[in-house]
Amino acid sequence: MKKCEYCAKEISYHEIYCCDDCQTNANKFYEVRDKISKLMGVINGVSVLSIGIGLFVYSMIREVGAFMVAIPTVILGILFLFFPIPADVMIQKYKIKKAVQITRIIAVVLLVFGIAATIFAIFST
């Protein structure tokens, strides 16, 4: 059976969504994703680059490197918590609703690690 594109309930092959609410929610999701996808890409790229540079700097100057890893991790966690935009492959596999939930869980994990790294950076000086 085919599954609803939003909630993953089983539907007939002639439908895309199981109900009007799912269609409305999916349209809202795609509109928001289209509006903020470029900004999210830039912020993701800068944050990941900063984390990579921070890991390199950490090997030489621990305090500075720890902050360069911690702060972008917290930023990524907050960004994905408030704007959970999963990858297309994830949407195809889990459908929109579950993919957004998984993205929020990853965001919370990033946030916890970022806060822990920040606390570590503060107390390691």
| pTM for the predicted model, two decimal places | 0.87
Distance CA 103, CA 40 (A): 14
Q: What is the pLDDT of residues 33-45, one digit of tens each?
A: 999 999 999 999 9
pLDDT tops 90 at residue 121 = no
Q: Is 20 exposed, middle or buried (0-12, 13-18, 19+ CB in 10 A)?
A: exposed
Query: 39-89: per-residue pLDDT in tens?
Result: 999 999 999 999 999 989 988 888 888 888 999 999 999 999 999 999 999
In this structure, how many other beta carbons lie within 10 angstroms of the beta carbon of residue 87? 10
pLDDT band at 4; cut points 50, 70, 90: very high
Q: Which residues pair with 108 in a beta bridge?
A: none
Name the residue ranges covered by the structural domains of the chain.
37-123
**How many Cβ atoms sit within 10 Å of the Cβ of residue 29?**
20
Q: Burial of 91 by CB count in 10 Å (0-12 exposed, 13-18 middle, 19+ buried)?
A: buried
